[in-house]
């Protein structure tokens, strides 16, 4: 029987390494897998929220339903909280942590020395939906999926993908399970209807 129990923690450097692994797995915008934002109809599909107000997101959510389209990210880079930072996301100021380019192949993790030294465990991620991308679609949820798999035969180098171009299982829009990880999502207050003239910008800071 265990009689001596002491706490164990995951130090910040370990979380920083997880952020680096995520960055490397999703950096390439021309591979068959990728990091993408999506918009979705969610519960009630193309109507407002069933009870009239947006519910809080839940930690148990694994997929969004009635997805209209997926878009590759625009920017992804490491950041740290900084009261004097020029970037504001979530009412918090952030500063960018630059990678070292070119990396020194003889130095372990040389590309990420600044990231490691500043223990950056946060990634700024942004995406834009513009003309020709889910035009006229209605949605009330926005999500960010990592490691999404694009189907064979689809042009991997493009930026916008319809739901049918992403690997998935299920029978219809209400229960499709896409081959990727839902990293975060948010519920909009009201149903949003896109138009060809509407350009939307999305940005988050993902914490590890």
Q: What is the model's pLDDT at position 51?
A: 83
Q: What is the model's pLDDT at position 7?
A: 87
Residue range 159-169, pLDDT digits in tens: 999 999 999 99
Sign of CA dihedral 57, 64, 162, 77: positive
Q: Report DSSP state, residue 14.
A: H
The whole-chain average pLDDT of the chain stands at 94
pLDDT at 194 over 90: yes
pLDDT at 2 over 90: no
pTM of the complete model beyond 0.85: yes
> What is d(CA 66, CA 62) in angstroms, rounded to the nearest whole number?
14
> What is d(CA 77, CA 97) in angstroms, rounded to the nearest whole number?
7
Q: What is the dihedral of CA 153, 159, 162, 165, to 10 degrees?
A: 20
pLDDT at 52 over 90: no
Q: Give the residue-averaged pLDDT of 22-33.
A: 96
Q: How confident is the model at residue 1 (pLDDT cuts 50, 70, 90)?
A: low
Pairing type for strands 181-193 and 138-149 reads antiparallel
Domain boundaries, the chain: 12-78+125-207
Residue range 94-150, pLDDT digits in tens: 999 999 999 999 888 999 999 999 999 999 999 999 999 999 999 999 999 999 999
Higher pLDDT, 92 or 6: 92
Q: Which of 1-15, 21-35, 118-132 has the lowest mean pLDDT?
A: 1-15
Tell me which residue of 202, 69, 187 sits closest to 127, measured CA to CA: 202
């Amino acid at each position: 029987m265990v009689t001596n129990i002491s706490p164990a923690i995951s130090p910040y450097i370990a979380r920083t390494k997880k952020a680096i692994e995520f960055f490397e797995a999703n950096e390439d915008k021309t591979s068959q897998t990728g990091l993408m934002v999506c918009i979705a109809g969610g519960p009630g599909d193309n109507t407002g929220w069933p009870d009239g107000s947006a519910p809080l997101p839940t930690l148990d959510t694994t997929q969004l339903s009635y997805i209209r389209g997926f878009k590759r990210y625009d920017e992804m880079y490491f950041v740290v909280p900084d009261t004097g930072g020029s970037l504001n996301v979530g009412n918090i100021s952030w500063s960018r942590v630059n990678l070292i380019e070119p990396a020194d192949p003889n130095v372990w993790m040389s590309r990420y020395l600044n990231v490691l030294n500043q223990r950056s465990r946060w990634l700024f991620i942004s995406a834009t939906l513009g003309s020709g991308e889910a035009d006229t679609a209605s949605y009330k949820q926005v999500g960010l999926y990592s490691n999404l798999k694009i189907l064979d035969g689809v042009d991997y180098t493009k930026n916008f993908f319809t739901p049918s171009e992403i690997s998935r299982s299920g029978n219809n829009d209400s229960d499709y399970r896409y081959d990727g990880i839902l990293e975060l999502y948010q519920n909009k207050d009201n149903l949003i209807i896109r138009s060809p003239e509407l350009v939307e910008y999305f940005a988050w800071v993902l914490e590890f």
